[in-house]
Structures are given as structure tokens and as C-alpha cells.
Structure 1
Amino acid sequence: MFSSKLHTLVFNVNQTGKTLRLTATLDGKTHTYTVPERQKVCARLKIIYRLLNPWSSLLGTIHEFYARVRRTTGRPGIHALLTEVGRVLYAPVDAWIERASGIEFVVAEERLAFLFDALYYRGKPLFLHKQVSYSLHAHSDDPLDVSRKWKGLLISHESSDPERAALAVKDLFPGSFYYDDHDVHPEDLRDIVEVDFVLISGHGGPAKGIELENMPIRPETLVHMAPKLVYLDSCRLGLHRGFLERLHQTGTRYYLAPILNNESGESSTKTIQRFFTALSDGETPSNALFIARKTLYEHYSAQGDDFRLAMVRAFPFRIYRLN
């Protein structure tokens, strides 16, 4: 089944041409509504993705990112876009969203880049109101039994994880296998029969996966370990269909990765630390990411980041429920 417990509001999103059809389900009640083509919601969602996504890692490229935004002429401001598209999609079920404990978007692979949880609901992005997850398939609602006895595979690249957040995760789950990028080889991973979770920080993208110094990380690399949760800290791997499909086939329950280009270190470090700390304290994976993203947005806004930069730092990671 798709998620139904704890008052989760599930949006099944379907698209025919340029028309969106949403079926919202909460506590056994269903409401279906259509967003007509004239609203241009699909086109606006694509613009929102381009406006929020920096070219590459923020290190050394933030000026190019803002220059590109300033060159975007003839388009509504980002706040207006997020407000208007959010109003169109969420006004029909406003009260349901308020009542729900969490939100789940069921989407097809062709709509992975639609940032539904960035859209405004009651004046601010939805991900700041509720825990949000995405799914492509039916999945179990059984709780994930996390404990500090969990054993993970942790791999850290010195430039993508300069503050070594992965080492902090090993402190939380001391039975885990930890490798620096330059120390891990294919035979090391082949010898690991089973782990509860995987955390890999490295450079890569949605076309190839992650490139470590001595080996690549591809969808098939992790299959024999049968991890329950996979967290990949690498640009836009949340859009990698190969990882989504193969991990689903493997039985992995949760997959977390950025759907935007994300920062090397700093905000990515804090996301890793806050997510795994909350997870080790007994939070569900979806709520652990909610805590991490909300507190990071508040942190960066308080230190003076403008909206776009705070979003680029706090928002990029998405959680998928796979099985």
C-alpha cells in the first residue's frame, strides 16, 4: 500500500499532456481534482527547478548561480511562482494538509524534478510545515526498527565531505565500516555481506553515479549488501532512475539523495549530522529529514542568507519510500 498511517496525506500525481490530475487521500477519504493546461503548472514547475538549482557545487560557483538568476528576464519572481503554483495545487485540500501529520507524493519517473514540497503553503514552503516523502511504488507502512546497533557502510570523499560528517555517523553507529575515498577498493565492498544502511559522500551526478578514486558507485554496487536505507550525498542523485529502480528491486526501504546540486561540506555536513542524529534518537527517516531541513532553513535564514541561498542549502535532499 501507499502510506496511510499517522494521518499521512497522499497525493497521487498524474499528467496527461500539460494537464495535472491529483488524487488526494487522507484517513480513507479521497478527493480528485484537475489542474487545467491554462494554469501552465507543468511549465512553471520546470521554471522553479531551474531557478532553485545552482549549476554545480556552491563552492566557487555561487556568483555564477546568481548571475544566471539575474539574467532570467521576463519570468515571475521565485516567491510569486511558489505562491501561485502552491495555491493552485493545495487550495482544494487546504484543510487536509493542515490536519495531516505528513505528506507523500506518488509520482512517475518523468516528474521527479517537480519540487512539490518547495511550493508555498500558507506563506512558506511545504517542507517547513510537514514531513514530506516521495514514492514511485506501493510500499510497506511497517516501522523501520533503527537502533545504535545498526551497522552501516560509510564512505567519505575529502572534498565532498571535508568536515568528515561520515565519521560523526560512525560515532552514532559504532559497528559501521568506515572508509576514506582513497582507501576503498572494489574487493573491500565485495567482502561486506550485509549492512543496515549506506552513507556515501562523493562527487557524481544523475548520469553516472558517484566516482570514487579507485572505483565507481553504481546502482548494482550496493545490491549484495541489502541495505534498508541508502543515503547518497552527491549532486542530483535523487533524480537517478537507476538507483531508484535497483534499490527498489533490492528491497531497500528508504533512499535519500539531493534532487538539486548541493554544497560540498557545510550544509551537506549539517544535513548528514542532523538526519542521522535524529534517526539514532528514534525518529522515522521521513521525520528525521524534516527536522534536518527545517532547522537548517531556520539556521541559514537567521545568519542572513537570502531565500534562494537558504533554500539551496536546506532543501536539496529528498527521501523516497521504496518498499
Structure 2
Amino acid sequence: MELKRSLVTALLLLASFAAEASCMVLTLQQQGTRLLLQSDADSNKTSPERSAKDISKDFRQIYTALEETQEWDGKFDARLQRLSQELYGPLLPAMRKASCIVFSIEPRFMHFALDLLPIDGSPLFVQKAVAFSLGKPRADTSSLTPKSRGLIVRDLDTDPEDGANEVRKLYPNSILHNAKNVGAKLFVEANYDFLLISAHGFVTPALGSDLADPDDSIRLGKGEINADALAKAKFKLLYLDSCQLGMSKPFIDAASRSGARHYLAPIISNESGHSSTLTIRYFFGDLNKGKTPMEALFHARKRLYQDFQSKASRTDQIFYAYPFRLYIL
């Protein structure tokens, strides 16, 4: 029986490697005053006529609209469609065929909601498994199994429906802490397969700058922690259910130094409970069944998008389904 389980685990890891290794990688960079988006698989590329500055301004306006949950209107849709045509253009045939897509970007482009742009009338994030990378993405075989150990920290304010405990039940070797009882000491030399924190996040998004704010933080009961708190920790995957932590380069860098291959967090201020609880439930539920992080997040966001198709306004539908971003480190 043990041999059979080992074989199944090996096959799941191989599938994970194959899935991520076969993704279409699109590299976004600036050359002079213009942007260049290029596929790693062939010579296809796009270089919009408009300046990088103008396109970045459009994405800042989109980011602000998402962060402030501004009502979507025709002008908002037109801006998304225009950016899709400008950036994707001749890349579209290959993108339609790709099983998954990884955007390799510079930190100054972290506010670019590239997976929100529409293709054939629907946002990219509900059509393809998508991830981001701050540099050349590395395919790997890391994946969670039911035996994986997690360090889980829950703030009752941000996780009122106890999604954290659902994850603990999926991974019974994990340890669950109440956020009000812990501080930075909890992470000193911590060594777990994954870290899940649901707590308030405080980030100053760079929005077009390569400069990162070292004061980005997560609030715990015994004080706020910044990225340095993870300096000596070791994790394979980090899932931070904390506002805007998907825009924090210091925390992403700290995750990479911890040995993690995957980092997930919302790029905007996400909901406490409700959609965030569902995202936790769907994501970790799929991981527990052998899905890769890319597949699990894709299925979670697509399911949320479909769940709220007829139950919420389009503005709320995106607010519920879109916020979380996956970085491959």
C-alpha cells in the first residue's frame, strides 16, 4: 500500500512538472520608451505604438478602479479591450492554444492586470491557468500532498468563516494559531511545507516604480511583521490572505529566499470571509487532490466567476473572483 501511495505521489509530481514546464511564457519588458511583449517559444512579439508611460497609466487607472471597487462602465471595458489588442495582437493564436500562461515581468509592471484583459470576450484568468514571475520562471515538481505540514495563522476579523480550520482538516499534520496570540517569533526558523496567513495586510503599491517599500506588513496580535520576519523560515508555498500582499516585492523576495516555489496573495484589498473563504476552500481543496498551484488557482477563480455570474453585479463579480495572483519563484 505504501509503495502504491509513493507511486501515485510521484506521478502527481511528474504531472505538476509537465504542466508548468509546458506553459507559454510571455516576457514583458521596456525597450526605450515602448513596451515589448515576447513569447519564449517563437519569434512572435508585440510592441504597442503607444508609449510605456501611457500604457502604464492605463493600468494604474484599472488598478485604482479595482482597489476602490469603482463601478464598471463602457469606458472601462473599452480600455481593457484596447490594451488587449495592443499587447496581445499577433500572440493571440498561440495564447488560445496554450494550456497555461506565465507572465515574466519587471517589478515596475506588477500593477499590470494582464490576466484581466479580455480574449474573445472573456477575461484571460477564467480561460487559462495564469501565473506571474519576477524574472525567468522556473518549472519545478513541488506540490502538496495530504501528508504535507502547514503553518496556519488565522485572524478572526479576516477569516470569520474559519477557512483556515478547513485547511487544517485537509492537512492534519498542520498547526493552527490564533493571530492575536503570535508575533514574529513564530516564524524564526519555521520549517513547513506551506504557510497560510489570514490577517490584515498593509502595502504601499509601487505602481510603476522598481522601488519597494520595506514597511509592507501583516498585522498579528503581538505586532506587525514585515518581510524580514521570514528571513530564516523555510516553506514550499506561501498563501497570504492579506490585502495587497500580491503587490509586495519584499514579501515575494522573502518567500523566494525561504525556498518557496509558489507565492499567492491578493493584489488589491480583498474581502474578509465570503469570497476569500471560498478561494481558500477551492484552492487548497484542489491541491489536496493533486492539482498544481496554477491549476488550483485557475479552477478557484473560474468557479467564483461562474458562481457570481447571476448573483452579483459585474463589478462585484470581478472583486470576488479576481484578486489573488500566483507568482512562480
Q: State the TM-score, normalizing by the size of structure 1.
A: 0.87
Instruction: For 1:298 and 1:167, locate their aligned partners in 2 and report how far apart those are by CA, in whole Å.
Output: 25
1:137 maps to which residue? 135
8 Å CA contact retained: 1:6, 1:101 = no
Partner SS for 1:113: coil
Counterpart among 270, 274, 278 of residue 278 in structure 2? 270
Whole-Å separation in 2 of the counterparts to 1:199 and 1:298: 25
In the TM superposition, what is the alpha-carbon distance from 1:172 to its structure 2 partner? 0.5
Number of the residue aligned with 2:39? 24
Aligned to 1:299: 307
Deviations along 1:167-209, whole A, 9 cap, x unmatched? Answer: 000010000010111222444444x641000000001221431
Shift in CA distance, 121/213, structure 1 to aligned 2, threshold 3 Å: same
The alpha-carbon deviation at position 18 of structure 1 amounts to: 4.7
Corresponding letter in the other structure for 1:115:
A
- Displacement of 1:36 in angstroms is 1.8
Corresponding position: 1:33 with 2:46: yes
Q: In structure 2, how many angstroms separate the alpha carbons of the residues matched to 1:139 and 1:105?
A: 9
Gaps of 5+ in 1: 55-64
Aligned ranges 1:1-323 → 2 under 5 Å: 7-16=22-31, 18-26=33-41, 29-37=42-50, 40-54=54-68, 65-66=69-70, 69=71, 77-190=75-188, 193-207=190-204, 208-303=216-311, 305-322=312-329
Instruction: Tell me which amino acid in the other structure corresponds to 2:277.
Output: T
Dislocated runs of 4+, deviation >6 Å: none
Q: CA deviation at 1:41?
A: 2.6
In structure 1, C-alpha distance between the alignment counterparts of 2:255 and 2:77, rounded to whole Å: 35
The 1:264–1:18 alpha-carbon spacing in structure 2 relative to 1, beyond 3 Å, is farther
**1:320 alignment partner AA:** Y
The whole-number CA distance in structure 2 between the counterparts of 1:287 and 1:232 is 18
2: distance between equivalents of 1:302 and 1:6? 36
CA contact 2:153–2:197 (8 Å) conserved in 1:
yes
> In the alignment, is the contact (CA less than 8 A) between 1:255 and 1:321 conserved in 2?
yes
Indicate if the aligned counterparts of 2:301 and 2:322 stay in contact, CA closer than 8 A.
Answer: yes
Most deviating of 5-14 and 174-183: 5-14
Identify which range, 211-220 or 259-268, moves more after superposition. Answer: 211-220
CA distance in 2 between partners of 1:188 and 1:42 (Å) = 39
Three-state SS of the structure 2 residue aligned to 1:138 is coil
1: CA distance, partners of 2:276 / 2:50: 37
Give the residue type in structure 1 aligned to 2:109.
Answer: R
CA shift, 1:49, in A, is 1.2
**Counterpart of 1:264 in structure 2: which amino acid?**
S
RMSD: 2.1
Distance in structure 2 (CA, Å) of the matches to 1:13 and 1:176: 38
In structure 2, the partner of 1:61 is: none
- How far apart in 1 are the matches of 2:154 and 2:257? 26
Specify the SS of the correspondent of 1:279.
Answer: helix
3-state SS of 2:44 partner: strand
Size of the alignment, in residue pairs? 300
Give me the whole-angstrom Cα distance separating, in 2, the residues matched to 1:319 and 1:116.
Answer: 13
Calculate the TM-score normalised by the size of structure 2: 0.85
Displacement after TM superposition at 1:148 (Å): 0.7
Q: Decide whether the 8 Å contact of 1:4 with 1:10 is kept in 2.
A: no
Measure the CA separation in 1 of the matches of 2:193 and 2:51: 47
CA distance in 2, matches of 1:51, 1:244: 24
Contact 1:87–1:120 under 8 Å retained in 2: no
Q: CA offset at residue 84 of structure 1?
A: 1.6
Tell me the equivalent position of 2:14. Answer: none
Distance in 1 between residues matched to 2:198 and 2:79, nearest whole Å: 32
Paired with 2:94 and 2:50, the residues of 1 have a C-alpha distance of 25
Residues 106 and 124 of structure 1: is their aligned pair in 2 closer, same or farther, counting only changes over 3 Å? same
CA distance in 2, matches of 1:43, 1:117: 17
Q: 1:38 to 1:218 in 2, by over 3 A?
A: closer
State which drifts further: 81-90 or 32-41: 32-41
Percent identical pairs in the alignment equals 33
Q: Which consecutive residues of structure 2, in runs of 5 or more, have no partner in the other structure?
A: 1-17, 205-215
